[in-house]
A = this chain, B = another copy of it.
Amino acid sequence: MEAPAYSDIRQAKSRINHRILETPVMQSSMLNELSGCHLYFKCENFQKAGAFKYRGATNAILKLNPEALRQGVCTHSSGNHAQALALAAAQAGTKAYVVMPESAPRNKVEAVRNYGADVFFCYSTLEAREEKLKEVQNATGAHFIHPYNHPDIIAGQGTAALELLKIQPGLDVVMAPVGGGGLMSGTAIATKHINPGITLIGAEPAGASDAQQSLYSKKLIPSVQPKTIADGLLTSLSDLTFSILSTHLDDILTCTEENIVLAMKLIMERMKIVVEPSAAVPFAIILEHKAMFRNKRVGMIVSGGNLDVSNFFPDNTDK
């Protein structure tokens, strides 16, 4: 598999433009003051299905030939990719089949079903997932769309940075959270082509720092028993994303769990937007490494807003 080129990201943008939302770039003078730099939040929490994942899923689906499209698409995911693929498939008039671990939160399962996808449960080991996925593929003929190890997915995710840099071409730093590395890969390819002078920094929780370890040791180190509330960032890099990030990233930084929670609180309190923990990680890193960012113009991809807000209402009002 080859890395997508900048031209693939431009083409992805034209391909998906009528389906996606051009999400706003928000600023907050209070957060600028607090962090000592100029922050530009690219708000993919407002994207359809609540996260940037809808961009890649839509691009991958719209690139299928008519026959493949008719057979439907499938994936294994308990997170935002599952919802994004389910909605993108429905929009394209085809079916999505999603393999999810039995332990997946009910609200996530419901969200995927509400978009019209069929859900298949499996044990939560990687082996069980892959076995179940193969079973589903054999039964349906559906096309497998990996959450990040796929050039079309990466090209789709890169369109968020394209929009950010169109509005703010003069940034000093661009950051995105790193889980499987699809978003950061697309962001890196778009950013380095548009302005090679921009410093590219990956953002990871200290409790799931496999990408940092991989980049620092120059070999792919899988994520083993990650511990973080940033549930979108638990996965390992793939060969493809590892190779792209090795080529383009200037650095990859980590932050504590306390700073992720603080960053979430500040974003919700000051900017009045709902973000999931993973989406707050770049800002958490700025809070943790303030001196590095002093007076810089920093663009960040706010990856998603799929937070289970019912946790926020602890009484029995949910009944």
Contacts and interface: CB of A to CB of B under 8 A. Distances in A.
A264 B272 CA distance: 13
Interface string A246-265: 00000000000110011011
Interface stretch (A130-138, A197-205, A207-215, A308-316): A308-316
A261 B317 contact: yes
Given A265-B309, A310-B265, A311-B312, A272 B317 contact: no
**Chain A binding site: helix, strand, loop or mixed by DSSP?**
helix
Nearest to A44: B272
A45 B272 CA distance: 7
Contacts of A148: none
A305 interface: yes
Given A274-B274, A314-B314, A309 B269 contact: yes
A258 B313 CA distance: 11
Interface in A261-316: 261-262, 264-265, 268-269, 272-275, 305, 307, 309-314
Contact of A272 (B50, B257, B261, B311): B50
A313 B308 CA distance: 12
B273 A317 contact: no
A75 B130 CA distance: 65
Contacts of A262: 317
Contacts of A274: 268-269, 272-274
Interface in A7-47: 24, 45-46
Contacts of A314: 314
Interface of A: 24, 45-46, 50, 257-258, 261-262, 264-265, 268-269, 272-275, 305, 307, 309-314, 317
